[in-house]
């Protein structure tokens, strides 16, 4: 069974390589376009190089500590494998993103459809590299050791890198974006991506290191840790049945094939860009449903891997699990549609935020915060209903399978997401290179949809991470087993309640660190841009060239400096809680895990949806609504967008791996100190 997963992983990586080759065959435009693209590529590569060198030092220290602990060198190897694969997913995604951007801008000269097709292919490279690396690394490590402890350590390595990538990249991209907007748009009155803005290259670099590399690392670890959590829970609930361990990776293998088939359905007809992307997602879900059915029919006919009645749910075991898998696919569709509703210009929330901007800056902020809060309700209802139905169909293991099925479409979902930073950069290159209005019209249309797709993927990642964290928590409790080691977890116990409050505080503390880090870094960019406007005569007239590299260097230094303390919070808190409360430590930590899951989901969803709604409200006004560009409503919307930037691209999405890091560290502590 493992061989099928390895083959599927190699097919996914091979398909990503083929798409990358196709993208690289396309023309790069004129010399001016190539110079701009080269500057973006150079800045992004320099930042990621410095980021991963710094993170590698932390990783090696942690790996050494794991190796000398009772967990052993196998767990240390798993940790390094997870960290390396997570970083590689981000690097590969960024490498193609910074090369596809200029090619998409050039393709836009031929029309909307060629530019759309090329940008999706560029995004698909990231998507299928992520799932190929994730499923391949999990399966290979299992085949090597047949032990789940190295796999838990793999999840820890991937999650830790994801926190650094999401946080560091988020600080970079939003510090550059906010700094560029505050001086360029608000003070100087020049358009976004205007080449006269000294921070414009840093802003475009940020799209890649945050929305591409950071997102790829995030979805890698979410996919990997969900698969590992389901494998672990299967082993704990059914210790005599190895089939429950292998089952999640087989579902992932089937879904990779389904996602590749679905990607062939992404074709643009007319101007329905979002519809074209959803065609691929719906086809992938359809093929996944068929593939899962084929797989489950095989299980029913053979009785494997569950051996008949070993799982008693009141249904034929395999069909109960098939129902749970379908629930995961349906939950994916529901989360995507809900997130689009709250972040797309076509619907009430964004339009209401735009309308509120007519009354001023304060009402824009109030409206954006309100809709961000409202946007948490429907996704949580989907998670709860999906979890309860999956539990009714196939017990706790069914909940794990629903989470795996939800993440099984990661390849096509990430492809839709990575489409966003490529089109954003293409629009920037078109603006800076002075391409025609028709080209800019095409890139603007793609960019507007890309902003929504990025929000949709963040909502998907957070919701699936919430479900995965619940499975991890169930595994934490199951680890304690029976008898004297059994953990009695009662909500009227003050230690449990105290732990819940401690864990609930973590997302707020983390988000506070992240938001302030963006504020400080953006302040440095603002001062630099103002300095260049003052000291370099001729910038505004276009007769002198800004020092783009200086702004990139400032943001790079600030992001690397600011990311370490908040990124280590989710690692430190479980360790401190475990030892600070003595024999009650495991109980308090269990409460902390519940607390961080609950508030983490709500804070992350509120920030990502609210921030994206603010952004699209500004774009909605810029299209000519409520006074258009330069109006008082537009100025208020720019303020809302500036506040929403670190919400949606720094603090919000980075809370996602924070939740899982705490749960994975808790699992490692149990295996290290209690079993």
**Could you report the per-residue pLDDT of 110-166, keeping only the tens digit for each?**
999 999 999 999 999 999 999 999 999 999 999 999 888 999 999 899 988 888 888
Best-predicted range by mean pLDDT among 164-178, 362-376, 641-655?
Answer: 362-376
Residue 98 has pLDDT above 50, yes or no: yes
For 165-182, what is each residue's pLDDT tens digit?
Answer: 888 888 888 888 877 777
The crossing angle, in degrees rounded to 10, of helices 410-432 and 243-263 is 40
Q: What is the pLDDT of residue 504?
A: 96
Residue 1's pLDDT band, with cuts at 50, 70 and 90, is: low
Contact 306, 394 (CB under 8 A): no
In this prediction, residues 460-480 reach a mean pLDDT of: 83
In this prediction, residues 86-105 reach a mean pLDDT of: 89
Residue 312 has pLDDT above 70, yes or no: no
For 545-588, what is each residue's pLDDT tens digit?
Answer: 888 888 888 888 888 888 888 888 999 999 999 999 988 999 99
**Spatial distance between the Cα atoms of 332 and 62, rounded to a whole number of angstroms:** 35
Provide the token pair at 61. 């220290």
Average pLDDT of the chain?
Answer: 87
Question: Between 497 and 534, whose confidence is greater?
Answer: 497
Q: What is the pLDDT of residue 166?
A: 83
Domain ranges of the chain: 1-674
Q: What is the pLDDT of residue 338?
A: 93
Burial class (CB in 10 A: 0-12, 13-18, 19+), 338: buried
- What spatial distance separates the first Cα and last Cα of the chain, rounded to whole Å? 29
**Spatial distance between the Cα atoms of 651 and 632, rounded to a whole number of angstroms:** 29
Q: What is the pLDDT of residue 299?
A: 62
Q: What is the pLDDT of residue 162?
A: 85
Residue 6 has pLDDT above 90, yes or no: yes
Residue 539's pLDDT band, with cuts at 50, 70 and 90, is: confident
> How many angstroms from the chain centroid is the CA of residue 650?
11
Residue 306 has pLDDT above 60, yes or no: no
Provide the token pair at 411. 């390849």
**What distances in angstroms separate CA 319 from CA 142, 152, 250, 292, one per listed residue?**
26, 29, 16, 11
pLDDT above 90 as % of the chain: 41
Contact 161, 221 (CB under 8 A): yes
In this prediction, residues 472-483 reach a mean pLDDT of: 76
Q: What is the CA radius of gyration of the chain?
A: 24
Residue 314's pLDDT band, with cuts at 50, 70 and 90, is: very low
For 197-247, what is each residue's pLDDT tens digit?
Answer: 888 888 888 878 877 878 888 889 889 988 998 998 888 888 777 778 888
Which residue has tokens 């808190």? 573
Residue 40 has pLDDT above 50, yes or no: yes
Question: Between 466 and 634, whose confidence is greater?
Answer: 634
**Spatial distance between the Cα atoms of 382 and 556, rounded to a whole number of angstroms:** 39
Residue 78 has pLDDT above 80, yes or no: yes
Question: Between 310 and 200, whose confidence is greater?
Answer: 200
Provide the token pair at 54. 């710094």
Which residue has tokens 């449990």? 496
Among 168, 75, 111, smallest CA distance to 649 is for 168
Runs of H (alpha helix) within 536-584: 548-562, 564-580
Predicted TM-score of the model (pTM):
0.89
Contact 375, 606 (CB under 8 A): yes
The crossing angle, in degrees rounded to 10, of helices 148-180 and 494-535 is 40
CA angle 622, 625, 626 (to 5 degrees): 110
Provide the token pair at 675. 């079993």
In this prediction, residues 512-537 reach a mean pLDDT of: 87
């Amino acid at each position: 069974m493992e061989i099928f997963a390895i083959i599927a992983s190699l097919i996914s990586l091979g398909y990503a390589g083929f798409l990358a080759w196709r993208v690289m065959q396309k023309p790069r435009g004129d010399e001016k376009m190539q110079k701009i693209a080269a500057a973006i590529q150079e800045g992004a590569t320099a930042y990621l190089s410095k980021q991963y060198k710094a993170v590698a030092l932390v990783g090696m220290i942690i790996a050494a500590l794991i190796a000398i602990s009772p967990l052993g060198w196998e767990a240390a190897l798993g940790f390094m494998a997870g960290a390396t694969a997570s970083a590689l997913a981000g690097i590969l995604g960024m490498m193609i993103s910074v090369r596809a951007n200029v090619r998409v801008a050039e393709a836009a000269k031929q029309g909307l459809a060629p530019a759309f097709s090329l940008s999706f292919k560029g995004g698909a490279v990231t998507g299928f590299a992520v799932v190929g690396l994730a499923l391949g690394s999990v399966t290979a490590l299992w085949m090597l050791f047949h032990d789940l402890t190295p796999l838990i350590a793999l999840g820890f390595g991937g999650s830790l890198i994801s926190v650094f990538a999401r946080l560091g990249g988020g600080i970079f991209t939003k510090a550059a974006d906010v700094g560029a907007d505050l001086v360029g748009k608000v003070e100087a009155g020049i358009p976004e991506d205007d080449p006269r803005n000294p921070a414009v290259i840093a802003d475009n670099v940020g799209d890649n290191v945050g929305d591409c590399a950071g997102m790829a690392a995030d979805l890698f670890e979410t996919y990997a840790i969900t698969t590992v959590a389901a494998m672990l829970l299967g082993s704990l609930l059914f210790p005599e049945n190895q089939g429950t361990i292998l089952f999640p990776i087989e579902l992932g293998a089937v879904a990779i094939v389904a996602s590749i088939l679905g990607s062939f359905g992404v074709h643009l007809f007319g101007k329905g860009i979002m519809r074209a992307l959803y065609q691929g997602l719906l086809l992938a879900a359809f093929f996944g449903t068929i593939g899962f059915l084929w797989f489950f029919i095989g299980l029913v006919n053979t009785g494997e891997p569950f051996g008949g009645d070993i799982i008693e749910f009141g249904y034929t075991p395999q069909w109960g699990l098939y129902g749970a898998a379908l629930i995961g696919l349906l939950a994916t569709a529901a989360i995507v549609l809900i997130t689009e509703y709250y972040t797309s210009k076509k619907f009430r929330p964004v339009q209401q935020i735009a309308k509120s901007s007519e009354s001023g800056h304060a009402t824009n902020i109030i409206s954006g915060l309100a809709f961000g809060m409202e946007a948490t309700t429907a996704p949580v209802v989907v998670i709860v209903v999906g979890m309860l139905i999956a539990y009714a169909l196939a017990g706790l293991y069914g909940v794990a399978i629903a989470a795996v099925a939800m993440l099984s479409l990661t390849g096509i979902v990430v492809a839709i997401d990575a489409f966003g930073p490529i089109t954003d950069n293409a629009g920037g290159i078109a603006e800076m290179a002075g391409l025609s209005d028709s080209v800019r019209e095409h890139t603007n249309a793609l960019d507007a949809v890309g902003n929504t797709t990025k929000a949709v993927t963040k909502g998907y990642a957070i919701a699936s991470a919430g479900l995965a964290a619940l499975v991890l928590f169930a595994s934490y409790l199951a680890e304690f087993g029976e008898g004297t080691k059994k953990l009695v977890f009662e909500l009227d116990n003050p230690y449990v309640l105290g732990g819940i409050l401690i864990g609930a505080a973590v997302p707020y503390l983390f988000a506070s660190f992240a938001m302030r880090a963006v504020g400080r870094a953006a302040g440095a960019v603002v001062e630099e841009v103002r300095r260049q406007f003052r000291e370099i005569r001729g910038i505004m007239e276009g007769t002198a060239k800004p020092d783009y590299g200086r702004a990139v260097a400032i943001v790079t230094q600030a992001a690397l400096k600011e990311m370490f303390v908040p990124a280590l919070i989710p690692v430190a808190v479980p360790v401190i809680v475990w030892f600070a409360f003595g024999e009650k430590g495991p109980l308090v930590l269990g409460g902390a895990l519940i607390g961080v899951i609950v508030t983490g989901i709500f804070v992350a969803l509120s920030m990502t949806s609210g921030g994206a709604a603010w952004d699209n409200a500004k774009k909605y006004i810029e299209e000519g609504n409520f006074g258009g560009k330069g109006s008082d409503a537009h100025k208020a919307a720019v303020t809302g967008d500036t506040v929403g930037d670190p919400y949606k691209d720094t603090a919000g999405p980075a809370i996602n791996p924070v939740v899982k890091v705490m749960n994975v560290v808790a699992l490692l502590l149990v295996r290290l100190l209690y079993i």
